[in-house]
Amino acid sequence: MGQASLHTDELYQGALARSADMSGSSGARAGFWPRLMSHRGGRLGLIIVLAYVVVAVAAPVLAPYSPGAVDLVRRLVPPGLRTGNLLGTDQLGRDILSRIMHGARVSILVGLATVCISAFVGVGLGMVAGYYGGVLDRALARFTELLLAFPYLIFVIGAMSVMGPGFWNLVWALSFKGWVEFYRLARALVMSEKNREYVEAARVLGRSDGVILTCEILPNIVNSMLVLGTLRMGNMIVMESSLSFLGLGIPPRMPAWGSMINDGRRYMLTSPWVATFPGLALALLVLGMNLLGEGLRDVLDPKMMEG
Protein backbone atom coordinates (compact mmCIF):
# COMPACT_ATOMS: atom_id res chain seq x y z
CA MET A 1 0.00 0.00 0.00
CA GLY A 2 2.84 2.38 0.87
CA GLN A 3 4.57 1.81 -2.46
CA ALA A 4 1.28 2.22 -4.33
CA SER A 5 0.59 5.49 -2.52
CA LEU A 6 4.09 6.72 -3.23
CA HIS A 7 3.73 5.80 -6.88
CA THR A 8 0.42 7.65 -7.08
CA ASP A 9 1.95 10.74 -5.49
CA GLU A 10 4.81 10.65 -7.97
CA LEU A 11 2.33 10.24 -10.82
CA TYR A 12 0.35 13.22 -9.57
CA GLN A 13 3.40 15.45 -9.16
CA GLY A 14 4.76 14.47 -12.57
CA ALA A 15 1.44 15.07 -14.29
CA LEU A 16 1.03 18.41 -12.53
CA ALA A 17 4.51 19.48 -13.59
CA ARG A 18 3.89 18.49 -17.20
CA SER A 19 0.61 20.38 -17.24
CA ALA A 20 2.28 23.47 -15.80
CA ASP A 21 4.89 23.29 -18.52
CA MET A 22 2.20 22.95 -21.19
CA SER A 23 0.20 25.89 -19.89
CA GLY A 24 3.28 28.05 -19.36
CA SER A 25 2.08 29.20 -15.93
CA SER A 26 5.40 28.63 -14.14
CA GLY A 27 7.34 30.41 -16.89
CA ALA A 28 4.83 33.24 -16.89
CA ARG A 29 5.28 33.78 -13.15
CA ALA A 30 9.08 33.61 -13.37
CA GLY A 31 9.59 36.08 -16.20
CA PHE A 32 6.32 37.98 -16.34
CA TRP A 33 7.54 41.51 -15.61
CA PRO A 34 10.75 41.35 -17.70
CA ARG A 35 8.77 40.00 -20.65
CA LEU A 36 6.04 42.61 -20.27
CA MET A 37 8.58 45.42 -20.01
CA SER A 38 10.33 44.15 -23.14
CA HIS A 39 7.03 44.07 -25.03
CA ARG A 40 6.75 47.49 -26.69
CA GLY A 41 2.96 47.66 -26.86
CA GLY A 42 2.42 46.11 -23.44
CA ARG A 43 4.88 48.51 -21.82
CA LEU A 44 3.24 51.53 -23.44
CA GLY A 45 -0.22 50.30 -22.48
CA LEU A 46 0.84 49.74 -18.87
CA ILE A 47 2.29 53.26 -18.65
CA ILE A 48 -0.89 54.79 -20.06
CA VAL A 49 -3.18 52.81 -17.76
CA LEU A 50 -1.08 53.51 -14.66
CA ALA A 51 -1.03 57.22 -15.51
CA TYR A 52 -4.82 57.26 -15.74
CA VAL A 53 -5.15 55.35 -12.47
CA VAL A 54 -2.86 57.81 -10.67
CA VAL A 55 -4.81 60.77 -12.06
CA ALA A 56 -8.14 59.16 -11.13
CA VAL A 57 -7.08 58.37 -7.57
CA ALA A 58 -5.49 61.78 -6.99
CA ALA A 59 -8.11 63.80 -8.91
CA PRO A 60 -9.33 65.73 -5.82
CA VAL A 61 -5.75 66.88 -5.23
CA LEU A 62 -4.52 67.30 -8.81
CA ALA A 63 -7.61 68.99 -10.30
CA PRO A 64 -7.14 72.78 -10.33
CA TYR A 65 -10.86 73.46 -9.82
CA SER A 66 -13.96 71.72 -8.55
CA PRO A 67 -15.52 69.72 -11.41
CA GLY A 68 -18.97 71.16 -10.69
CA ALA A 69 -17.98 74.80 -10.13
CA VAL A 70 -20.06 76.99 -12.48
CA ASP A 71 -18.77 80.38 -13.65
CA LEU A 72 -20.95 81.81 -16.42
CA VAL A 73 -18.64 84.80 -16.80
CA ARG A 74 -15.89 82.42 -17.98
CA ARG A 75 -17.99 80.18 -20.21
CA LEU A 76 -16.31 78.73 -23.33
CA VAL A 77 -12.88 80.12 -22.45
CA PRO A 78 -10.32 78.73 -24.94
CA PRO A 79 -7.45 76.52 -23.75
CA GLY A 80 -4.26 78.20 -22.66
CA LEU A 81 -1.95 78.93 -19.77
CA ARG A 82 -2.80 82.62 -19.71
CA THR A 83 -6.51 82.01 -19.28
CA GLY A 84 -5.97 79.87 -16.18
CA ASN A 85 -7.78 76.95 -17.78
CA LEU A 86 -5.29 74.65 -19.50
CA LEU A 87 -7.97 72.83 -21.54
CA GLY A 88 -10.54 75.64 -21.54
CA THR A 89 -14.02 75.74 -20.05
CA ASP A 90 -17.40 74.41 -21.15
CA GLN A 91 -20.73 76.12 -21.78
CA LEU A 92 -21.25 76.61 -18.03
CA GLY A 93 -17.77 77.88 -17.29
CA ARG A 94 -16.64 74.60 -15.71
CA ASP A 95 -12.96 73.69 -16.05
CA ILE A 96 -12.62 70.89 -18.61
CA LEU A 97 -9.33 69.53 -17.25
CA SER A 98 -10.82 69.10 -13.78
CA ARG A 99 -13.89 67.37 -15.19
CA ILE A 100 -11.74 65.04 -17.30
CA MET A 101 -9.72 64.04 -14.24
CA HIS A 102 -12.83 63.30 -12.20
CA GLY A 103 -14.45 61.62 -15.20
CA ALA A 104 -11.52 59.19 -15.30
CA ARG A 105 -12.56 57.96 -11.86
CA VAL A 106 -16.05 57.20 -13.09
CA SER A 107 -14.94 55.39 -16.24
CA ILE A 108 -12.27 53.28 -14.53
CA LEU A 109 -14.56 52.34 -11.63
CA VAL A 110 -17.41 51.35 -13.96
CA GLY A 111 -15.07 49.29 -16.14
CA LEU A 112 -13.36 47.61 -13.18
CA ALA A 113 -16.57 46.82 -11.30
CA THR A 114 -18.27 45.46 -14.41
CA VAL A 115 -15.33 43.24 -15.38
CA CYS A 116 -14.93 41.90 -11.83
CA ILE A 117 -18.61 40.99 -11.52
CA SER A 118 -18.74 39.53 -15.03
CA ALA A 119 -15.58 37.48 -14.48
CA PHE A 120 -16.75 36.16 -11.10
CA VAL A 121 -20.10 35.01 -12.46
CA GLY A 122 -18.90 33.87 -15.88
CA VAL A 123 -15.82 31.96 -14.74
CA GLY A 124 -17.71 30.29 -11.91
CA LEU A 125 -20.58 29.13 -14.10
CA GLY A 126 -18.25 28.23 -16.96
CA MET A 127 -16.05 26.04 -14.77
CA VAL A 128 -19.02 24.17 -13.30
CA ALA A 129 -20.72 23.72 -16.67
CA GLY A 130 -17.51 22.62 -18.40
CA TYR A 131 -16.55 20.19 -15.66
CA TYR A 132 -19.91 18.50 -15.06
CA GLY A 133 -21.76 19.04 -18.35
CA GLY A 134 -25.25 17.58 -18.35
CA VAL A 135 -28.49 19.48 -17.86
CA LEU A 136 -26.85 22.57 -16.34
CA ASP A 137 -24.48 22.88 -19.28
CA ARG A 138 -27.28 22.60 -21.82
CA ALA A 139 -29.49 25.08 -19.95
CA LEU A 140 -26.70 27.65 -19.68
CA ALA A 141 -25.82 27.13 -23.35
CA ARG A 142 -29.39 27.96 -24.40
CA PHE A 143 -29.51 30.98 -22.06
CA THR A 144 -26.22 32.41 -23.35
CA GLU A 145 -27.36 31.91 -26.94
CA LEU A 146 -30.49 33.90 -26.11
CA LEU A 147 -28.42 36.73 -24.63
CA LEU A 148 -26.06 36.76 -27.61
CA ALA A 149 -29.01 37.20 -29.94
CA PHE A 150 -29.38 40.80 -28.68
CA PRO A 151 -26.79 43.45 -29.64
CA TYR A 152 -24.94 44.48 -26.49
CA LEU A 153 -25.58 48.22 -26.74
CA ILE A 154 -29.28 47.80 -27.57
CA PHE A 155 -29.65 45.36 -24.66
CA VAL A 156 -28.03 47.75 -22.17
CA ILE A 157 -30.01 50.73 -23.47
CA GLY A 158 -33.21 48.80 -22.84
CA ALA A 159 -32.09 47.83 -19.35
CA MET A 160 -31.09 51.39 -18.45
CA SER A 161 -34.37 52.73 -19.81
CA VAL A 162 -36.13 50.56 -17.25
CA MET A 163 -33.76 51.06 -14.28
CA GLY A 164 -32.86 54.70 -14.91
CA PRO A 165 -29.46 56.44 -14.82
CA GLY A 166 -27.15 55.59 -11.95
CA PHE A 167 -23.68 54.24 -11.26
CA TRP A 168 -24.71 50.83 -9.93
CA ASN A 169 -27.63 50.54 -12.34
CA LEU A 170 -25.11 50.95 -15.15
CA VAL A 171 -22.73 48.37 -13.64
CA TRP A 172 -25.48 45.78 -13.23
CA ALA A 173 -26.86 46.43 -16.71
CA LEU A 174 -23.41 45.93 -18.27
CA SER A 175 -22.68 42.87 -16.13
CA PHE A 176 -25.96 41.14 -16.95
CA LYS A 177 -24.62 40.26 -20.38
CA GLY A 178 -20.91 40.86 -19.82
CA TRP A 179 -20.39 37.51 -18.07
CA VAL A 180 -21.23 35.52 -21.22
CA GLU A 181 -17.78 35.82 -22.82
CA PHE A 182 -16.06 34.79 -19.57
CA TYR A 183 -18.45 31.85 -19.29
CA ARG A 184 -17.82 30.62 -22.81
CA LEU A 185 -14.05 30.86 -22.54
CA ALA A 186 -13.91 29.28 -19.07
CA ARG A 187 -16.20 26.43 -20.15
CA ALA A 188 -14.07 25.67 -23.23
CA LEU A 189 -10.82 25.73 -21.25
CA VAL A 190 -12.16 23.54 -18.45
CA MET A 191 -13.48 21.00 -20.95
CA SER A 192 -9.99 20.72 -22.42
CA GLU A 193 -8.28 20.57 -19.02
CA LYS A 194 -10.52 18.18 -17.09
CA ASN A 195 -9.20 15.07 -18.89
CA ARG A 196 -5.51 15.89 -18.54
CA GLU A 197 -3.17 13.68 -16.52
CA TYR A 198 -2.83 15.99 -13.53
CA VAL A 199 -6.62 16.10 -13.08
CA GLU A 200 -6.90 12.31 -13.37
CA ALA A 201 -4.09 11.93 -10.82
CA ALA A 202 -5.88 14.33 -8.45
CA ARG A 203 -9.03 12.21 -8.70
CA VAL A 204 -7.00 9.06 -7.91
CA LEU A 205 -5.66 10.78 -4.79
CA GLY A 206 -9.22 11.46 -3.67
CA ARG A 207 -9.32 15.20 -4.28
CA SER A 208 -12.84 16.60 -4.24
CA ASP A 209 -14.33 18.26 -7.31
CA GLY A 210 -14.20 21.65 -5.63
CA VAL A 211 -10.48 21.29 -4.86
CA ILE A 212 -9.76 20.09 -8.39
CA LEU A 213 -11.60 23.04 -9.93
CA THR A 214 -10.14 25.75 -7.68
CA CYS A 215 -6.65 24.42 -6.94
CA GLU A 216 -5.79 22.42 -10.06
CA ILE A 217 -7.73 23.72 -13.07
CA LEU A 218 -8.26 27.39 -12.18
CA PRO A 219 -4.53 28.26 -11.97
CA ASN A 220 -4.09 26.88 -15.49
CA ILE A 221 -6.83 29.05 -17.02
CA VAL A 222 -6.44 32.25 -15.00
CA ASN A 223 -4.00 33.73 -17.52
CA SER A 224 -6.59 33.59 -20.28
CA MET A 225 -9.19 35.13 -17.96
CA LEU A 226 -6.80 37.97 -17.10
CA VAL A 227 -6.19 38.77 -20.76
CA LEU A 228 -9.91 38.69 -21.56
CA GLY A 229 -10.72 40.89 -18.58
CA THR A 230 -8.15 43.51 -19.61
CA LEU A 231 -9.46 43.64 -23.16
CA ARG A 232 -13.08 43.73 -22.04
CA MET A 233 -12.46 46.60 -19.63
CA GLY A 234 -11.71 48.93 -22.52
CA ASN A 235 -14.96 47.87 -24.16
CA MET A 236 -16.90 48.48 -20.93
CA ILE A 237 -15.45 52.00 -20.68
CA VAL A 238 -16.63 52.72 -24.23
CA MET A 239 -20.08 51.34 -23.36
CA GLU A 240 -20.29 53.56 -20.28
CA SER A 241 -19.34 56.62 -22.32
CA SER A 242 -21.86 55.72 -25.03
CA LEU A 243 -24.68 55.44 -22.51
CA SER A 244 -23.65 58.65 -20.76
CA PHE A 245 -23.60 60.34 -24.18
CA LEU A 246 -27.22 59.24 -24.65
CA GLY A 247 -28.18 60.41 -21.14
CA LEU A 248 -28.80 56.86 -19.88
CA GLY A 249 -25.59 56.23 -17.96
CA ILE A 250 -24.02 58.33 -15.23
CA PRO A 251 -26.31 61.02 -13.71
CA PRO A 252 -25.63 64.58 -14.95
CA ARG A 253 -24.39 65.69 -11.52
CA MET A 254 -21.34 63.42 -11.93
CA PRO A 255 -18.66 64.30 -14.53
CA ALA A 256 -18.53 61.62 -17.22
CA TRP A 257 -16.70 61.71 -20.53
CA GLY A 258 -19.73 60.63 -22.54
CA SER A 259 -21.95 63.41 -21.23
CA MET A 260 -19.11 65.93 -21.72
CA ILE A 261 -18.83 64.92 -25.37
CA ASN A 262 -22.59 65.21 -25.75
CA ASP A 263 -22.59 68.70 -24.23
CA GLY A 264 -19.75 69.83 -26.48
CA ARG A 265 -21.09 68.58 -29.81
CA ARG A 266 -23.32 71.66 -30.08
CA TYR A 267 -20.21 73.86 -29.96
CA MET A 268 -17.96 71.91 -32.36
CA LEU A 269 -17.76 74.79 -34.86
CA THR A 270 -17.19 77.59 -32.34
CA SER A 271 -15.58 75.86 -29.31
CA PRO A 272 -14.33 72.45 -30.42
CA TRP A 273 -12.24 71.87 -27.27
CA VAL A 274 -15.37 71.19 -25.19
CA ALA A 275 -15.93 67.82 -26.88
CA THR A 276 -12.47 67.14 -28.31
CA PHE A 277 -10.48 66.81 -25.09
CA PRO A 278 -12.88 64.37 -23.37
CA GLY A 279 -12.97 62.34 -26.58
CA LEU A 280 -9.18 62.21 -26.73
CA ALA A 281 -9.02 61.18 -23.06
CA LEU A 282 -11.45 58.33 -23.75
CA ALA A 283 -9.61 57.18 -26.89
CA LEU A 284 -6.21 57.20 -25.17
CA LEU A 285 -7.43 55.17 -22.17
CA VAL A 286 -9.09 52.56 -24.39
CA LEU A 287 -5.94 52.39 -26.53
CA GLY A 288 -3.87 51.83 -23.39
CA MET A 289 -6.18 49.05 -22.18
CA ASN A 290 -6.06 47.31 -25.56
CA LEU A 291 -2.27 47.58 -25.79
CA LEU A 292 -1.92 46.20 -22.27
CA GLY A 293 -4.31 43.36 -23.03
CA GLU A 294 -2.43 42.41 -26.19
CA GLY A 295 0.85 42.58 -24.30
CA LEU A 296 -0.48 40.29 -21.58
CA ARG A 297 -1.75 37.89 -24.23
CA ASP A 298 1.66 37.69 -25.87
CA VAL A 299 3.54 37.40 -22.57
CA LEU A 300 1.26 34.76 -21.06
CA ASP A 301 0.87 32.71 -24.25
CA PRO A 302 3.04 29.56 -23.91
CA LYS A 303 3.92 29.64 -27.61
CA MET A 304 5.19 33.20 -27.27
CA MET A 305 7.18 32.26 -24.19
CA GLU A 306 9.01 29.48 -26.03
CA GLY A 307 10.42 32.01 -28.52
Residue ranges of domains in the chain: 2-306
Reported as a pLDDT band with limits 50, 70 and 90, residue 143 is very high
User: What's the DSSP call for residue 214?
Assistant: I
Tell me how crowded residue 56 is: count the other CB atoms within 10 A of its CB: 19
Question: Which residues, 6 or more positions from 85, have their beta carbon under 8 angstroms from its beta carbon?
Answer: 74, 77, 79, 95, 96, 97
Percentage with pLDDT > 90 across the chain: 50
**pLDDT (tens digit, 9 = 90+) per residue, 25-37?**
444 455 778 888 8
Cα(175)–Cα(113) distance, integer angstroms: 9
Q: Angle CA(217)–CA(219)–CA(224) in degrees, nearest 5?
A: 100
261 vs 15, higher pLDDT: 261
Q: Does domain 2-306 have CATH number 1.10.1660.10?
A: no
For residue range 194-214, list pLDDT tens digits in order: 888 888 888 888 888 888 888
Q: What angle, rounded to 10 degrees, do the helices at 25-38 and 218-245 form? A: 40
pTM: 0.84
CA distance 110 to 251: 13
What integer best gives the mean pLDDT of the chain? 85
Res 84: pLDDT: 83
